[in-house]
Amino acid sequence: MTSDTQAEQVQAAPAASVTMPIAKALNAALREAMRADDRVLLMGEDIGPLGGVFRITDGLHAEFGEHRVLDTPLAESGIIGTAIGLAMRGYRPVIEIQFDGFVYPGFDQIVSQLAKMTARHRGRVSMPIVIRIPYGGHIGAVEHHQESPEAYFAHTAGLRVVSPSTANDAHWMLRQAIESDDPVIFLEPKSKYWSKGEVLPAPAARLQGVSGMHRAVVAKPGSDVTLIGHGAMVHVLLQAALIAEGEGTSCEVVDLRSLSPIDWAPLVESAQRTGRVIVAQEAPGHVSVGSEIAATIAERAFYSLEAPVLRVSGFDTPFPPAQLEDIYLPDADRVLDAVDRSLAY
Amino acid sequence: MTRADARADEATEPIRLLDPDGSLVESDANAEWRELAAQLSTDDRLAMHGEMLRTRRFDIEAGHLQRQGKLGLWVPSIGQEGAQVGAAWASREQDTIFPSYREHLIALHRGVDMLQIIDIFRGAVHGGWDPLETRGMRIYSLVIATHALHSTGYAMGIRLDRACGTGDASRDEAVMAFYGDGAASQGDASEGLVFAASYDAPIVFFVQNNKWAISVPSTRQSRTPLHERARGFGLDAAWVDGNDPLASFAVTRRMLDAARQGRPGYVEADTYRMGAHTTSDDPTRYRPSEEEEAWRRRDPIARLAAHLRELGVDDAALAAQDAEATDLAADMRRRTLAAGTAASDDIFDHVYSEPHPLVLEQKRALAEFEAGFGGES
């Protein structure tokens, strides 16, 4: 990315901070990116006049037309596979997958094609493709609409995987994902789409460059226990920290933001300071992002730990029917139970 | 090609201009195709024959190298040179080609070096060549039909760029995607047809029906002829004798020029994989030798050679081509035996376009690990 491009993008950004929900912050980011670079185009199902089932692309079809906002046939492999061809032609496609559980028909194109294409070409071909996936539970939906598939993508070399938890991050991380010359799996915490937050003007709030979206940040400082999570789980962790504070325990909440690569320094530094770490996620725990975090913190902060790193996850079962989702999904109580167990060591 | 033409092709026989014995087939039905083939001079036809021979010799020599342990695997194209040479000559300089992994003649035609193909099969690289330097020839795709979508997307990009549809066939761009009867069963093949039709993509799917997907016959792949299936998706389609280089050229040229004006097309080339699927395959386990023998009598190289003799080309010219092809194959062998091995940095260096801390860390760790053996090896 050249500094000229950066300057243009800064100009296109809002001049003062604005409070808006995550959904609107994503919409604004898409609009700004499309205005800044006419090679950016959107692809997905029902993203045209309808604006997407979550309205993230609302108004973009009207502003940019059907050649920039492609309402595609209902075929995820087709969407991702043709996006690869468009990227070979010099375009920067931003794909919307309608729901987390609908990404799998496109899985081969993501894992065997998109992720490996740059290596296969020995770096001569870049794949600047963003795949936006609304993910996670808490919306009471039918099967395939509440899953957390991040581990599959974080496991795959050649992909970058990020997930914002705030409106500001949703906005700026999406801008950075679109600027990236590598494929980015952009996981949107759909249960928080209408959660409001301040979107700050660039460059004040912006972590410059593509690496910005890969930084982990401390969402709330604390001294006794470190709580690590991403996406909607960050909100659960902040709630748990508030309750714990009332009980005399100071929790530090770290927002992972990036699942591949993982920004280890803030995690290890926090673990060394508190000596106790809980990592929480909606996804099933077996061979998960949380597993990797637990293992790596054990390797890098071994002598500082007062307790083993504990994981709080969805169960290793299919996501249950909606009536049972509150039992399946880790809530503040399950996080606090882990905090208690950690403190008991 | 119009839809009326397409319907006319719903025949029991594929479009053919040369009989297996090399004699011209002249009928009212193939008049338009004969006219197109007339664009090819005798010199052009001789050059096509030379490309087929070079590919055949290259193929045979690569098979030998595999048997000697110099290649991990070889994928022969023997028997399919006629379909490929027609398609190669039908393409125009500005076109982009997405091959499967058996399109050796197409690759050589567009300027890929024999050794760049060999490099894939001796385990040196995955891609083989830089598609930005090989006149529109993209790299091989090993997972069948995945590139049906990449090619369609690329063609959609051509349309967005307004680089087609001006009516000037010498400038308008188009895409060719190559796959086979086995790949036609993949969902990606069908999705490619859906997207190509939806977006009027300037693309031709050139499907070599070589009758066998390893051991599964094409009759198990489809109850309807593949070209009829394509029509159901809204594409223009044609069925051509793939062992007839002239017919392959004429039909593909027509379909490609229609594609560059926004009418995606589909060519099913009726051909035969005369050899094994790969050097790991044993066709004696699944198909009768009589079938192989029958197709050997329809060898596309012999067919074009007979036609050239009929045109007055003397045996010396054909023998000279054979000698040249043999020399090129021998040169390929020498260069293969002299070729080096990949470096460990290749594992890490191009996974991402922008620096990635995990990959950099592992590259550094491997270097330190290897340095730990310093001087002792």
Q: Nearest residue of A to residue B163 by CA position?
A: A89
CB environment A317-345: b (16+ within 10 A), e (fewer): eebbebeebeebbbebebbbebbeebeee
A125 interfacial to chain B (CB closer than 8 Å): yes
pTM of this structure? 0.95
Q: What is the pLDDT of residue B374?
A: 74
B354 touching A (Cβ < 8 Å): yes
Q: How far is CA B39 from the centre of its chain?
A: 22
pLDDT of residue A206: 55
Chain B: residue whose CA lies nearest to A113: B146
Region A78-98: mean pLDDT is 98
CB-CB neighbors (< 8 A) of B148 in chain A: 81
Query: Which of B130, B192, B355 faces A124 most closely, judged by CB atoms?
Result: B130
Percent of chain A topping pLDDT 90: 91
Contact B187/A at CB under 8 A: yes
Is A335 within 8 Å of chain B by CB? Answer: no
Whether the predicted pLDDT of B283 surpasses 80: yes
Cross-chain residue pair B143–A182, CB shorter than 8 Å: no
State percent of chain B over pLDDT 90: 93
Nearest to B279 by CA among B61, B107, B124: B61
pLDDT at A207 over 70: no
Instruction: Give the tokens for residue A204.
Output: 């004040």
Mean pLDDT of chain A: 94
With CB atoms and an 8 Å threshold, state whether A81 touches B149. Answer: yes
The residue with tokens 């596309």 is B300
Tokens representing residue B260 in the block:
């560059």
Q: What is the pLDDT of residue A200?
A: 87
**pLDDT tens figures, B93-147:** 999 999 999 999 999 999 999 999 999 999 999 998 999 899 999 999 999 999 9
Q: Are strands A196-199 and A18-21 parallel, antiparallel or unpaired?
A: antiparallel
Indicate whether B10 pLDDT > 60: no
Q: Is the ipTM of this complex over 0.90?
A: yes
Quick check: B132 contacting A, CB < 8 Å?
A: yes
Element containing residue B278 per DSSP (H, E): none
Catalytic residues of A: 145
pLDDT at A17: 87
Residue A16: band (very low, low, confident or very high) from pLDDT cuts 50, 70, 90: confident
Is the model's pLDDT at B149 over the cut of 60?
yes
Test A85 with B146 for CB contact under 8 angstroms.
no
Instruction: Provide the chain A residues 227-286 that lie in CB contact (below 8 A) with chain B.
Output: 260-262
What's the pLDDT band for A11 if we cut at 50, 70, 90?
A: very low
Q: Let me know: does B158 contact B204? Beta carbons within 8 Å.
A: no
Torsion of CA B190, B195, B197, B200, to 10 degrees: -150
**Distance of alpha carbon A30 from alpha carbon A55, whole angstroms:** 12
CA separation for the pair B109, B55 (Å, rounded): 10
Give residue-wise pLDDT tens across range B305-319. 999 999 999 999 999
Beta bridge partners of B203: B175
List of chain A residues whose C-beta atoms are within 8 Å of the C-beta of residue B194: 73, 75, 78
Nearest CA in chain A to B120: A120
CA quadruple B86, B87, B89, B90: dihedral positive or negative?
Answer: positive
Q: Give residue-wise pLDDT tens across range A177-186.
A: 999 999 999 9
Is A84's CB within 8 Å of B153's CB?
A: yes
Q: What is the pLDDT of residue B375?
A: 58
CB–CB of A85 and B138 under 8 A? no
> What is the pLDDT, as a whole number, of residue A10?
44
Contact B151 A72 (CB under 8 A): no
Chains A and B: how many Cβ contacts under 8 Å? 135
Q: Is B160 touching A (CB cutoff 8 A)?
A: yes
Per-residue model confidence as pLDDT tens digits over A236-250 = 999 999 999 999 999
Query: CA-to-CA distance for A79 and B194, rounded, in angstroms?
Result: 11
Q: Which structure tokens are listed for B17?
A: 């201009």
Q: Are A48 and A61 in contact (CB under 8 A)?
A: yes
R_g over Cα of chain A: 20
Chain A: residue nearest B351 by CA? Answer: A119
Q: N- to C-terminal Cα distance for chain A?
A: 48
Whether the pLDDT of residue A12 is over 80: the answer is no
| Residues of B with Cβ-Cβ distance to A83 under 8 angstroms | 153
**SS3 (DSSP) at B271:** coil
- DSSP state at residue A113: I
Q: What is the pLDDT of residues B167-213, one digit of tens each?
A: 999 999 999 999 999 999 999 999 999 999 999 999 999 999 999 99
pLDDT digits (tens, 9 = 90+) for A120-147: 999 999 999 999 999 999 999 999 999 9
Say which of A72, A81, A88 has its CB closest to residue B146: A81
Is the bond leading into A261 cis (omega within 30 degrees of zero)?
Answer: yes
List of chain B residues whose C-beta atoms are within 8 Å of the C-beta of residue A95: none
Q: Do A182 and B156 touch (CB under 8 A)?
A: no
B353 touches chain A (CB under 8 A): yes
- Of the candidates B127, B143, B155, the beta carbon closest to that of A112 is on B143
Number of neighbours of residue B319 by Cβ within 10 angstroms: 10
A85 with B356: Cβ contact below 8 A: no
What DSSP string runs through A43-73? EETT-STT--TT-TTTTHHHHH-TTTEEE--
Identify the bridge partners of residue B204 per DSSP, sorted by sequence position. B176, B265
Strand partners, A135: A189
C-beta separation of B97 from B110 below 8 A: yes
pLDDT at B244 over 70: yes
Instruction: Look at A91 and B160 and tell me if their CB atoms are within 8 Å.
Output: yes
A312 three-state secondary structure: strand
Q: Write the burial class of residue B224 (CB in 10 Å: 0-12 exposed, 13-18 middle, 19+ buried).
A: exposed
CA of B284: how far to CAs of A72, B102, B281, in Å?
45, 21, 9
> How is residue A310 annotated by DSSP?
E
Asked if B126 and A119 come within 8 Å (Cβ–Cβ), the reply is yes
Of A85, A86, A158, nearest to B352 by CB-CB distance is A158
CA–CA gap between residue A203 and residue A9 (Å, rounded):
10
- Model pLDDT for residues B351-363, shown as the tens digit of each residue: 999 999 999 999 9
Nearest beta carbon to residue A86 from set B132, B156, B355: B156
Give yes or no for residue A31 having a pLDDT over 70: yes
Per-residue pLDDT, B181:
96
Tell me the sheet residues that pair with A93. A41
For chain B, the maximum distance between any two Cα atoms, rounded to a whole number of angstroms, is 78
Facing residues of A70 across strands? Answer: A43
> In Å, how far is B17's CA from the nearest CA of chain A?
35
pLDDT at A205: 52
The residues pairing with A314 across neighbouring beta strands, listed in sequence order, are A284
- Give the integer Cα–Cα distance in Å for A208 and A182: 17
Which chain B residue has the Cα nearest residue A126?
A: B353
Q: Are B137 and B178 in contact (CB under 8 A)?
A: no
| Distance between CA atoms of residues B170 and B260, nearest Å | 10
Instruction: Dump pLDDT digits (tens) for A149-161.
Output: 999 999 999 999 9
CB B300 within 8 A of CB B77: no
151-170 in A: which are within 8 Å (CB) of B?
157-158, 160
Length of chain A: 345
For the residues B6-11, what does the mean pLDDT come to? 53
- What φ, ψ does residue B345 adopt, rounded to 5°? -60, -25
Q: Which residues of A touch B131 (CB under 8 A)?
A: 121, 124-125
Does B339 score more than 80 pLDDT?
yes
- State how far residue B307 is from chain A, nearest Cα, in angstroms: 40
Q: How far apart are CA A116 and CA A109, in angstroms?
A: 10
- Residue among B151, B259, B159, B186 nearest A83 (CA): B151
